Homo-oligomer: A and B are copies of this chain.
């Protein structure tokens, strides 16, 4: 597989994982920037993520227009992705979803959503809440044009996640694997915080130093990160689609050689790297 094929393959996997982990249902989507052209990104046509295959993926310019003629219906909210890719050159992948357990945190400022568990560190120290009404008044709450997408991206700023009032969230990350990880652990972090509030007393949030330490140690193809990706993909029924890019396998020459002979075990990671 070419590098691009690999990426689109991973985009299909990402869709299936998000569906199986209950982050998306009929709605919600995940995109990835074109590896060779930062002004383009890939996103599925309008279809529930659980059903998406390679043929459903469409290439877009940053203003949400399909690069090639496209007769099939498109996601109304593709402008979320374009807006973030435009504003944030460092971002490679974006998720927008309505995962239920983050919704309460977008409805009130009573308890800001912040990382409390180690797997939640990647949401970042600050999670802004974007209220579409602040600038656009009474809408149907959907991000349905370039201007709205840009406004959301502006609110997101340099952060990893923005909550969208009464609607859901947008997450941005350095890779597909990372954005899926952020999205899966975001509701878990939200539930832990909500329930800790019930217990009373002072809540210990992750410190900035802890968040930074975890972020520094992160690599999408580390043993520990890869373990979750492989696990989630297998549970979602697409474990057979999981591949590791050559560049990464090459890090550990010996295991790469072994792996090359046994393609069925490609998913097995090299030893001792950091999560």
Interface contact A166-B118, CB-CB below 8 Å: yes
Interface contact A138-B254, CB-CB below 8 Å: no
Interface contact B199-A104, CB-CB below 8 Å: yes
The answer to whether A116 has its CB under 8 Å from any CB of chain B is: yes
Q: How far is the CA of A259 from the CA of B59 in the complex (A)?
A: 23
The answer to whether A98 has its CB under 8 Å from any CB of chain B is: yes
Interface contact B213-A76, CB-CB below 8 Å: no
Task: State how many copies of this chain the complex holds.
Answer: 4
Contact partners of A212 in chain B: CB under 8 A: 138
Q: Among A2-10, A86-94, A200-208, which stretch is in contact with chain B?
A: A200-208
Contact partners of A193 in chain B: CB under 8 A: 104, 107
Contact partners of A117 in chain B: CB under 8 A: 98, 103, 166-167
Which range holds the interface residue count of chain A? 35 or more
The answer to whether A196 has its CB under 8 Å from any CB of chain B is: yes
Q: How far is the CA of A180 from the CA of B199 in the complex (A)?
A: 26
The answer to whether A262 has its CB under 8 Å from any CB of chain B is: no
Which of A76, A165, A192, A203 has the largest count of B CB atoms less than 10 A from its CB? Answer: A192
The answer to whether A154 has its CB under 8 Å from any CB of chain B is: no
Interface contact A108-B167, CB-CB below 8 Å: no
- Within A94-122, the residues touching B (CB, 8 Å) are 98, 100-101, 103-105, 107-111, 116-119, 121
Interface contact A107-B116, CB-CB below 8 Å: yes
Other-chain residue from B76, B101, B195 in contact with A104 (beta carbon distance below 8 A): B195
Other-chain residue from B70, B140, B255 in contact with A71 (beta carbon distance below 8 A): B255
Q: How far is the CA of A167 from the CA of B202 in the complex (A)?
A: 17
Interface contact B273-A105, CB-CB below 8 Å: no
Interface contact A25-B272, CB-CB below 8 Å: no
The closest CB in chain B to the CB of A214 belongs to: B140
Contact partners of A107 in chain B: CB under 8 A: 116, 192-193, 196, 199, 203-204
Q: Given A103-B192, A110-B201, A195-B101, check contact A166 B206 (CB 8 Å).
A: yes
1/0 contact string of A185-221 vs chain B (CB within 8 Å): 0001001111111111111101101101110010000
Q: Given A71-B258, A141-B210, A199-B111, check contact A269 B118 (CB 8 Å).
A: no
1/0 contact string of A10-32 vs chain B (CB within 8 Å): 00000000000000011100000
Contact partners of A131 in chain B: CB under 8 A: 204
Interface contact A104-B198, CB-CB below 8 Å: yes
Jot down 12 A-B pairs with beta carbons below 8 A, ordered by A. A27-B224, A50-B235, A71-B255, A73-B269, A74-B272, A76-B224, A101-B195, A104-B195, A111-B201, A140-B213, A140-B217, A197-B198
